[in-house]
Amino acid sequence: MTKKRQPAGEAPELIHLEYHNQRAAESYLRFYQGYTKRLLLCIVLYVVKASPIWAIPIITANMINVLTDPNRDISASVFFQFIIGSIFILQNIPTHIWYIRTFSRISREVERNLRSQLCTRLQQLTIPYHINNKMGVLQIKVLRDVENVESMTRMLVDTLPQITISLLMAVIVTSFRAPQFLFFYLVTVPVAVVIYQLISKRMSAYNKDFRISMEEMSGKVIEMLKLIPVTRAHNVEHDELEKVNQKLEKVKTTGLRLDFLNSVYGSVNWVVFMMFNLIALFTAVILSHRKIINAGVGDVVLLTTYFNSITGAVMGLMNILPGITKGLESVKSIGEILECPDLEQNTGKPGIEGIEGRYVFDNVCYSHERNDHYAVKDFTLSVNPGETIALVGASGSGKSTLMQLLIGFIRPQKGSIRIDGHNMNEIDLRPYRRFISVVSQETILFDGSIRDNITYGARNVSDTQLLAAIQSANLTDFIGALPDGLETLVKENGARLSGGQKQRMAIARALLRNPRVLILDEATSALDVESEALIQDALNRLIHGRTTFIVAHRLSTIRHATRIVVMDQGTIAEIGTHEELMDLKGMYYRMVILQSHGISPDEATGAGPDLVRTAG
């Protein structure tokens, strides 16, 4: 076996972004790196398309002033104002379309990139991370949180330019026509900031509570859907619905609390700014009537219109602040995945281009998170290429943990595992996994054809290779009896197939990969006698000439293993062939005798001599 460096791009790494626990706003801005020029174009287009908002009040004021001034020629002036107004309004059609096309492309690209980066990161995170996090929680981060970020961007781009231009135009025009009114404009923004500061912390906390309750609810609903067959079979539908309803009630409670806070925030804003509008109108009329300011009727209308547009813009900003808070909370939620350090440490390590199947376990120890004892402790074993090693023992004895160590889902915390002389901790495990196949008790199938499911993970499979794998897996008669043969659709998780049929499909899938190492994790447990016979026959073909590790539930299926390793509380209790262990009359002997009388391995492990004698 030789080493080689992992080709660039073979397994996608995160693109564009690196995360270092930055603040939500800074992380959000980094999402749009590389789009600065196009975002600036969007802002310019928005300003142009929305120009009637601030141009029409000036035109309106000019027309009113002409109308109320008997000394001016009304026809020419009004016609000129009409032409200018028409130009401002009609330009909205092309500029709005251009703006939407440009902004939509940016937002959809960022949305796609974020989801791609999240999915990439999820593929890179360790298996224990996925075990410790519910699927629904991760799903809501990829779907809902990214959507919230996109919505926040849309709100910002649609609101900030309008507010900025409204403020600038109001200040410039008022400075020329009635500078005394600048006071009202200067007071508006600070009042808005004070209101926001008073309520922002509580709003952020309520948004976080609502987000967490939504994640918990989503996780529980997905769990309920997966458990429906088990729930129905045990008549515990009511219990499951109670659990779901508890999560739904929490979503309702946190949602109502958030909605109430938003309603208080919105109503206070509205009242404050409407009062400002009324005061501005009252002041303009009084000052103009008493000749304190030199302003015509049109100017009064202009000032009040501008103040209305300013307060409306500021209110618009205040009204989207809950959405911004929600979006920033989603940025934090996305960061929980993108910043998570719990990665498979593969990057930069050498890959492998072939293996023989020689393993050396040297005092391997592993303890699961939050456990104060080792699941595997001081495990030492040498395995030659082509050997079949069976692992037996009660639940919790360390068998499944050893399988995860073999696949590389977890890495030894102490000791080492060497494959063909190379420490597994020091190689890129992704190319290594091309040379192994796993057949577990639970076969995972997806919504697609039988052909797609069998060929999953294998590349450039010819029909001859596929038919040979099907025949070796004892699937020929089953597939031949189907109306659409290999193109028959399989529902998600193989709902239409029996346990034996799914297991044989998993064996066919493994055969197509032509692995050097096989990992069989209780592949024949919970099957009827006929299905077990077909699967055992297929497994015998699969095992031939390959290094194989078997976790066995039915001890009768491993009698021909090269060696049988009896596990007890994470350590090797006994090791040898079937005949050697039976002669030893230790733990394995007790398990075989008692299992022949219908006693499970868990019960058999702790059985005393009297029970063994009685069973024998």
26-30, 271-275, 346-350, 529-533: least confidently modelled range = 529-533
Instruction: Say if CB 569 and CB 560 are below 8 A apart.
Output: no
Q: What is the rounded distance in angstroms from the CA atom of residue 93 to the CA atom of residue 397?
A: 71
Parallel, antiparallel, or unpaired for β 571-576 and 563-568?
Answer: antiparallel
Q: Is the pLDDT of residue 360 over 90?
A: yes
Task: Specify the amino acid at residue 149.
Answer: V
Local confidence band at 16 (pLDDT 50, 70, 90 cut-offs): very low
Please tell us whether the domain made up of 24-51+91-338 is placed in CATH 1.20.1560.10. Answer: yes
Local confidence band at 42 (pLDDT 50, 70, 90 cut-offs): confident
Residue boundaries of the structural domains of the chain = 24-51+91-338, 359-584, 585-616
Q: Is the pLDDT of residue 311 over 60?
A: yes
Mean pLDDT across the stretch 443-462?
81
Same fold, 24-51+91-338 and 359-584: no
Mean pLDDT across the stretch 451-464?
83
Residue 231: how many other CB atoms lie within 10 Å: 17
Q: What are phi and psi of 593, to 5 degrees?
A: -60, -45
pLDDT, the chain, mean? 78
66-75, 380-389, 471-480: least confidently modelled range = 66-75
Helix (H) or strand (E) holding 572: strand 571-576
Q: What is the rounded distance in angstroms from the CA atom of residue 31 to the CA atom of residue 107?
A: 10
Mean pLDDT across the stretch 552-572?
86
- pLDDT for residue 2: 43
Q: Is the pLDDT of residue 5 over 60?
A: no
Q: Is the pLDDT of residue 373 over 90?
A: no
Q: Is the pLDDT of residue 613 over 60?
A: no
Local confidence band at 70 (pLDDT 50, 70, 90 cut-offs): low
Q: What is the rounded distance in angstroms from the CA atom of residue 324 to the CA atom of residue 148?
A: 9
Q: Is the pLDDT of residue 6 over 70?
A: no
Instruction: Say if CB 158 and CB 45 are below 8 A apart.
Output: no
Tell me the H-state helices in 32-91. Answer: 36-49, 52-67, 74-90
Which residue's entry shows tokens 């719990």? 342
Q: Is the pLDDT of residue 362 over 90?
A: yes
Residue 51: how many other CB atoms lie within 10 Å: 18
99-103, 152-156, 322-326, 400-404: least confidently modelled range = 322-326
Mean pLDDT across the stretch 477-503?
78
109-113, 115-119, 252-256, 277-281: least confidently modelled range = 277-281
Q: What is the rounded distance in angstroms from the CA atom of residue 566 to the CA atom of residue 391?
A: 6
Q: Is the pLDDT of residue 359 over 90?
A: yes
- pLDDT for residue 363: 93
CATH class of 359-584: alpha beta
Q: Is the pLDDT of residue 384 over 90?
A: yes
Torsion, Cα 348 350 354 356, to 10 degrees, reads: -120
For the four alpha carbons of 293, 297, 301 and 306, in that order, the dihedral sign comes to negative
What one-character DSSP code corresponds to residue 142?
A: I
Q: Is the pLDDT of residue 223 over 50?
A: yes
- pLDDT for residue 233: 63
529 versus 432: the higher-pLDDT residue is 432
pLDDT digits (tens, 9 = 90+) for 175-201: 776 676 677 666 766 766 676 667 667
150 versus 307: the higher-pLDDT residue is 150
Local confidence band at 14 (pLDDT 50, 70, 90 cut-offs): very low
Q: Is the pLDDT of residue 510 over 70?
A: yes
Task: Tell me the range of 121-130, 223-232, 546-555, 598-607 where mean pLDDT is highest.
Answer: 546-555
